[in-house]
């Protein structure tokens, strides 16, 4: 069906090797613009444990490494950035102990001309942020990986290339990323974005202006009777855009004061249309504003600490999918196509939460994927966890299995000072990001005290300095997006 379409898929099989010999196939998009992310995938037959797949590209007669990873369950998936300079020949190489044991036929990726496109409350909004202290998952063993990620690391030095060609040991170019923060009241006495001074103070602390400003809003305030709805946050959105940043709204189907059991805000009620009048009004206001923004709807849904979580408040994974699709459809009907939809579960290194795949609404309803995660430090029964151990298993599942073609960002992350060095944790996180998590193209620090936890960078000068050093890298884009007009918002 795709054979005659623009951007058709080029398929290469593994040829006719001898009986019993390992085989590797390659499927890759037939066209991509320079700087666009390309996903290649294929199957492996006859592979032994520990074998790796290396994706290579050739220009001017020389093969260079694009990405590599391990072959799992007979399948592999790797991504790379299309370099400038014209068409690119691509092949997949199966490696065992630094030796090529199978090579796919080559496929050509043509250089396209067009850039690739991927695939907010008033004061008193609901408190969001990390899961409450008693609720997040306990630490556990890492879930096994399935298909291999694009690690961004070069192959081992000295690894001989197939057919005696020069070593293909060059990593793919680093991806660009948005970055930002959810800024609390500790700096000025009032939370951003309602207080511009809070953003100014944060920028002064880290030495760089963010490209994302996150904040949260529930559906309604029920602290008095009758409840009052939270309107579309027009003024904060305008203020953020004027700063050159992109609004990042975490919007939740709940009322405040927050509680887990809210039957009138169950996902089934949302999907059935109980809140349609409010959602339509909100979507119409978003459409009238007209500029691009990130909309992270009902995040961390695989946990049990929010009223939209699977397994609480009468919710099931099917209810979550139905509610998400219903709200998305109301936005489309209102013409609010300037919303970029962000699907954001909580990291699950111990596989103790609801299965993420069961909560995925489907590619046509999601623009970006996302993960939240926190190092809670030594707060028993939790233990100190590195960024890599927290995010690794869930990152691989999302990027390899659930949504391999969607861009991904980190919607919330932070570390405690209790039980280790927060500054060292931050430094190691920034070191791991390009090497182990090349698909992460957005990063938001939770700079806010929440649930008695010491998340802000301002808990120590060392932590602030470590973050400032990490975010100073040019791959993290500053506030140059005041004129952004493309929706869904593409990776930077």
| Locus of tokens 């556990």 | 140
User: Has residue 257 been placed in a domain?
Assistant: yes
Q: What is the pLDDT of residues 231-280, one digit of tens each?
A: 999 999 999 999 999 999 999 999 999 999 999 999 999 999 999 999 99
Q: Which of 284, 318, 248 minimizes the C-alpha distance to 481?
A: 248
Q: Is 94 left (phi over 0), alpha (psi -120 to 50) or beta?
A: beta
Q: Residue 80 in contact with residue 69, Cβ under 8 Å?
A: no
Distance from chain centroid for Cα 420: 26
User: Has residue 235 been placed in a domain?
Assistant: yes
Q: What is the pLDDT of residues 266-296, one digit of tens each?
A: 999 999 999 999 999 999 999 999 999 999 9
d(CA 158, CA 167): 7
Mean pLDDT of the region 24-42: 82
CATH number at residue 48: 2.60.40.1930
pLDDT of residue 99: 76
Mean pLDDT of the region 116-139: 42
CATH number at residue 447: 3.20.20.80
Q: Which of 6, 59, 54, 55 minimizes the C-alpha distance to 30?
A: 6
Domain with 443, as residue range(s), is 178-471
Q: What is the mean pLDDT of the chain?
A: 84
pLDDT of residue 129: 54
The more confidently predicted of residues 252 and 77 is 252
Domain shared by 95 and 203, yes or no: no
Confidence of residue 73 (pLDDT cuts 50, 70, 90): low
Over 80: is that where the pLDDT of 466 sits?
A: yes
Domain shared by 106 and 206, yes or no: no
DSSP-assigned letters across all residues of 289-345 = H-S-EEEEES-STTSSSSTTSTTSTT--HHHHHHHHHHHHHHHHHTT-TTEEEEE-P
Mean pLDDT of the region 336-349: 98
Over 80: is that where the pLDDT of 4 sits?
A: no
- Return phi, psi of residue 68, to 5°: -155, 165
Domain shared by 271 and 354, yes or no: yes
| Locus of tokens 């298993």 | 393
Confidence of residue 80 (pLDDT cuts 50, 70, 90): confident
Q: What is the pLDDT of residues 295-338, one digit of tens each?
A: 999 999 999 999 999 999 999 999 999 999 999 999 999 999 99
Would you tell me the crossing angle of helices 196-206 and 461-471 to the nearest 10 degrees? 80
Of the residues 114, 149, 169, the one at which a domain ends: 114
Q: What is the DSSP letter of 81?
A: E
pLDDT of residue 42: 83
The more confidently predicted of residues 181 and 62 is 181
d(CA 281, CA 284): 5
Would you tell me the crossing angle of helices 422-436 and 387-397 to the nearest 10 degrees? 30
Q: Residue 222 in contact with residue 255, Cβ under 8 Å?
A: yes
Q: What is the pLDDT of residues 373-410, one digit of tens each?
A: 999 998 778 899 999 999 999 999 999 999 999 999 99
User: Has residue 151 been placed in a domain?
Assistant: no
Total domains in the fold of the chain: 2
Over 90: is that where the pLDDT of 71 sits?
A: no
| Predicted TM-score (pTM) of this structure | 0.70
d(CA 99, CA 51): 10
Q: Which of 94, 116, 97, 100 minimizes the C-alpha distance to 39?
A: 116
Over 80: is that where the pLDDT of 201 sits?
A: yes
The more confidently predicted of residues 201 and 99 is 201
pLDDT of residue 124: 38
User: Has residue 412 been placed in a domain?
Assistant: yes
User: Has residue 490 been placed in a domain?
Assistant: no
User: Sign of the C-alpha dihedral, residues 479, 487, 372, 143?
Assistant: negative
Over 60: is that where the pLDDT of 162 sits?
A: no
Query: DSSP H helical segments within 315-416, as ranges?
Result: 317-333, 387-397
**Whole-Å CA distances, 258 to 128, 246, 404:** 10, 27, 34
pLDDT of residue 11: 32
Domain shared by 99 and 188, yes or no: no
């Amino acid at each position: 069906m795709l054979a005659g379409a623009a951007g058709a898929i080029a398929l290469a099989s593994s040829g006719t090797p001898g009986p019993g010999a390992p085989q590797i196939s390659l499927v890759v998009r037939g066209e991509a613009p320079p700087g666009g992310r390309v996903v290649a995938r294929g199957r492996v037959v006859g592979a032994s444990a520990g074998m790796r797949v290396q994706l290579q590209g050739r220009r001017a007669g020389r093969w260079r490494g694009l990405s590599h990873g391990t072959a799992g369950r007979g399948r592999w998936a790797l991504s790379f950035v299309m370099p400038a300079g014209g068409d690119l020949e691509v092949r997949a190489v199966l490696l065992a102990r630094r030796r090529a044991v199978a090579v796919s036929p080559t496929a050509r990726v043509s250089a396209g001309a067009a850039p690739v496109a991927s695939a907010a409350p008033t004061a008193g909004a609901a408190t969001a942020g990390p899961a409450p202290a008693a609720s997040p998952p306990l630490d556990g063993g890492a879930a096994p990986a399935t298909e291999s990620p694009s690690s961004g690391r070069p192959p081992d030095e000295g690894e001989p290339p197939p057919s005696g060609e020069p070593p293909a040991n060059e990593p793919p170019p680093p991806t660009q990323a948005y970055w930002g923060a959810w800024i609390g009241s500790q700096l000025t006495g009032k939370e951003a974005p309602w207080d511009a001074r809070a953003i100014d103070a944060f920028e002064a602390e880290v030495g760089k202006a963010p490209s994302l400003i996150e904040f949260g809003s529930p559906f309604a305030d029920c602290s008095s009777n009758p409840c009052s709805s939270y309107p579309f946050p027009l003024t904060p959105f305008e203020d953020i855009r004027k700063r050159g940043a992109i609004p990042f709204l975490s919007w939740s189907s709940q009322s405040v004061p927050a509680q887990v059991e809210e039957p009138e805000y169950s996902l089934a009620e949302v999907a059935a249309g109980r809140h349609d009048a409010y959602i339509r009004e909100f979507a119409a206001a978003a459409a009238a504003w007209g500029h691009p923004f990130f909309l992270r709807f009902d995040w961390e849904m695989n946990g049990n600490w929010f009223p939209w979580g699977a397994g609480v408040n009468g919710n099931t994974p099917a209810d979550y999918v139905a509610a998400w699709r219903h709200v998305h459809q109301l936005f489309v009907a209102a013409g609010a196509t300037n919303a970029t939809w962000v699907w954001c579960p909580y990291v699950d290194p111990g596989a103790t939460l609801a299965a993420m795949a069961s909560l995925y609404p489907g590619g046509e309803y999601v623009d970006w994927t996302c993960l939240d995660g926190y190092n809670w430090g030594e707060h028993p029964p939790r233990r100190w966890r590195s960024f890599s151990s927290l995010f690794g298993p869930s990152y691989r599942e999302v990027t390899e299995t659930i949504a391999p073609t969607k861009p991904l960002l980190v919607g919330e992350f932070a570390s405690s000072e209790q039980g280790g060095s927060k500054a060292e944790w931050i430094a190691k996180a920034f070191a791991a990001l390009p090497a182990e998590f090349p698909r992460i193209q957005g990063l938001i620090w939770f700079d806010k005290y929440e649930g008695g936890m010491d998340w802000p960078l301002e808990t120590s000068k060392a932590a602030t300095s470590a973050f400032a050093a990490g975010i100073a890298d040019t791959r993290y884009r500053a506030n140059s997006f005041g004129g952004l007009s493309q929706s869904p918002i593409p990776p930077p």
